Structure 1
Amino acid sequence: MSASENKRSIIVGIFIVIGVIIFIAGVLTLGGKQKRFVSSITLKAIFNNVNGITAGNNVFFSGVKIGTVSKVAFYGNAQVEVTLHVEEKAQQYIHKNSLAKLSSEGFIGNKMIEIIAGPAGTPVVEDGDRLDVAAALGPDDIMKTLQDNNKNILAITNDFKVVSTEMVKGKGALGALLTDSVMADRLRQMSVNLENASATTARVTSAISQYTSKLNNKGTLATELLTDTTVFSNLKTAVKSLQATAASASEMTGNLNATSQKLTSDKNAVGVLLNDEATGAKLKTTVSNLESSTKKLDENMEALQHNFLLRGFFRKKAKAEEKAKEKAQEEQQQPQ
């Protein structure tokens, strides 16, 4: 065998080895995707309509691929039995009351079987168990729902068309706003009034802020009243004193009222003197008589002083009074 033939044989052998390696890698890759080389259990589910599920479609649990569909066969009269190969390590999460549901990988993706987890209180599935089937919306149901939604959208569009037409014609409050110039002017005037009111409110707020800031200045009466407890206590004392004075004045006013009422009454001496004219005349006469009697008494006393029988007595009395007066003057003149 020549060197060229040996070289060709080596190249062909290398290509064959590479092809075998690629074939084995492809088989392993496809087997890995199909879960052919992992420990698995078999589960079954019976559907009324599988909607295109075929052997090789994926099985998902909580969004994670856990197996594949191994067989699709008719069951009974018109049902379809689907056999699932599920990884053994996922068995502990699937309970006997879990549900099998037809779904798709994305909106227009491949068909798949989704296992919906059941309550954790029930036992886990075993090899060969049959899962109950969850109701799923088929394409016809989806189209029917879309048709109903389209009808609703059309009805809403027609209603909006009617409303917009009425608005353009000036009907209703919104239509009046769009077409009535008088109402538009009123709305603009209202906006101006609101702006003026807002400006006034801002000025009042600023004034109040300035006033409150002045209250914080030390030395002012407002600050003393708000912060100084001594001033506040003195003010409370002054208020109490004013209240007591007001009570005393009120009591005095009451007494004066009672006295004035007594003065107008004829049941007491002062009232009789002030109100009874006859008694007043008698009192005047009595006073006049007393004055006359007093005058006559003075004349009699003068006459007695000049009587020779009592003249010595009155002279001694006068001398004694004069001596007492002189003694008092001397005592006052002496230095203290």
Structure 2
Amino acid sequence: MSRILDKKTSADLLKLLVFVVVTSLATAVLVVTIGNLGFGSSRTYKAEFSDATGVNKGDDVRVAGVRVGTVSKVEIVDRTRALVTFSVDDGTSVNGGTNAAIRYRNLVGQRYLSLTQEVGDTQRLADGATIPIERTRAALDLTVLFNGFKPLFQALSPDDVNQLSFELVQVFQGEGGTLEGLLAHTASVTSTLADRDEVIGQLIDNLSLVLDHVADRDKQLTRLITSFRTLVGGLKKDRNAILDSLEDVSTLSVETASLVDGIRRPFVKDIKELRAVAGNIDKNKAELDRALQVLPIKLDKIGRTAIYGSFFNFYLCEFQGRVNLPGGVQVPVKYETGSDRCDLG
């Protein structure tokens, strides 16, 4: 029994150790990622700025957008300047032509230190050297910038404001375009508007004409609005009656459906018989047409006979027809009476 417990305890202990090791490694990776920690050799430099507002310990140091180090300390020197101490990877070249600038990382206010290479001394600076204020540039003052665009921002949606703000920051920081490009686009828009000045003028004239017509019909427009308001008020007042009538309409629809359902079979039968009658008429249309043509002549003769008295003598001279037998067999029938009156025509 004790051996079984020892084996089970050993297995559980092994699982616990594996869990602790994996958790520790994951935590270490997370700490390194979030803390921007590096394990290679690095060099420490300093840079003087006229304003380092918003720069904090741990902010990134980037070259061409790639993180190469971190800010380790921010302090004041001579009561007028800020001294930023930062460290970069040993493979990063910081020399006499290196310029340092504070730039916005995002609109929240986070900054980072950007190192750029200009024409100058290419000899690498010694560890702990300071980049003078002549080769540094403070961050853009967003408050002054956004106050200048405040009238424009008031006419835009929040999403458009955020997008435009980000683009402005990128432009004025020298990223994603240049101020000359922005002005060129603005000039292009202005030129396009100038080319369309005639069309815009015609549009304004037409709009003025429309407004004049509307102003001439102000009484009719007022009367229309008043009538529409009265209509809406009446509908609101009679809304209960209207809603109640909808229930009656629904009941009527159900009753009508039941009525149609009751006469459906006879109605279908009548339609079939009507189709048969129409078929017979179509088959005998020639005889029917001839009868209709002869009928006026016959009526004229009958009318002449009737002027001598209100009496008529009819004689059956001949009878013709067909008898339908079972199986679809038709037998023709023809009978002549042989009356003497028939010979008189």
Q: Give your verdict on TM over 0.5.
A: no
TM-score by length of 1: 0.40
Structure with greater Cα Rg: 1
TM-score by length of 2: 0.39
More helix by share: 1
More strand by share: 2
